[in-house]
Amino acid sequence: MLKWYEHEETAGDIVISSRIRLARNFNDYLFADKISEEDAAKMINSVAKRFETDYPEEFRCLYMKECSESGRNALKEKRVITSYLAGKNNGAVILSEDEGTSVLLNGEDHVRIQVLCNGMDIQSCFKKANEIDDYIDAHFDYAFDEKYGYKTTFPTNTGTGMKAGYTLHLPSLSDARRLNDISAELGRFGLKFRTVYGDGQNGYGNLYQISTQKTLGQDEREVIKDLDDIVLQIVNQEKEQREHFYKKDKIQMDDEIYKSYGVLKYARKLSLKDSMVLISELMTGVSLGVLQFAHNGRYNINELIMDIQPAVLRQNSGKAMSVAETDVLRAEYIRKYLPEII
pLDDT tens sequence for the chain (342 residues): 889 998 765 567 899 999 999 999 999 999 999 999 999 999 999 999 999 999 999 999 999 999 999 999 999 999 999 999 999 999 999 999 999 999 999 999 999 999 999 999 999 999 999 999 999 999 999 999 999 999 999 888 889 999 999 999 999 999 999 999 999 999 999 999 999 998 766 789 999 999 998 877 789 999 999 999 999 999 999 999 999 999 999 999 999 999 999 999 999 999 999 999 999 999 999 999 999 887 655 567 788 999 999 999 999 999 899 999 999 999 999 999 998 888
Integer Cα distance of 257 and 262 in angstroms: 9
**End-to-end alpha carbon distance in the chain:** 29
| 146 phi and psi angles, rounded to 5 deg | -60, -30
**What pLDDT score was predicted for residue 183?**
95
**167 in a known ligand binding site:** yes
Integer Cα distance of 223 and 337 in angstroms: 39
**112 in a known ligand binding site:** yes
**18 in a known ligand binding site:** yes
User: How far are the Cα atoms of 59, 110, 120 from residue 103, in angstroms, in the given order?
Assistant: 10, 10, 22
Q: Say if residues 44 and 109 touch (Cβ distance below 8 Å).
A: no
**289 in a known ligand binding site:** no
**196 in a known ligand binding site:** yes
- Taking phi over 0 as left and psi of -120 to 50 as alpha, with beta for the rest, 61 belongs to beta
| 169 phi and psi angles, rounded to 5 deg | -105, 115
**Numbered ranges of CATH 3.30.590.10 in the chain:** 13-240
**199 in a known ligand binding site:** yes
**314 in a known ligand binding site:** no
**301 in a known ligand binding site:** no
**46 in a known ligand binding site:** no
**266 in a known ligand binding site:** no
**208 in a known ligand binding site:** no
**177 in a known ligand binding site:** no
**254 in a known ligand binding site:** no
User: Has domain 13-240 been given CATH number 3.40.190.80?
Assistant: no
**74 in a known ligand binding site:** no
**60 in a known ligand binding site:** no
Handedness of CA 296, 326, 87, 168 (dihedral sign): negative
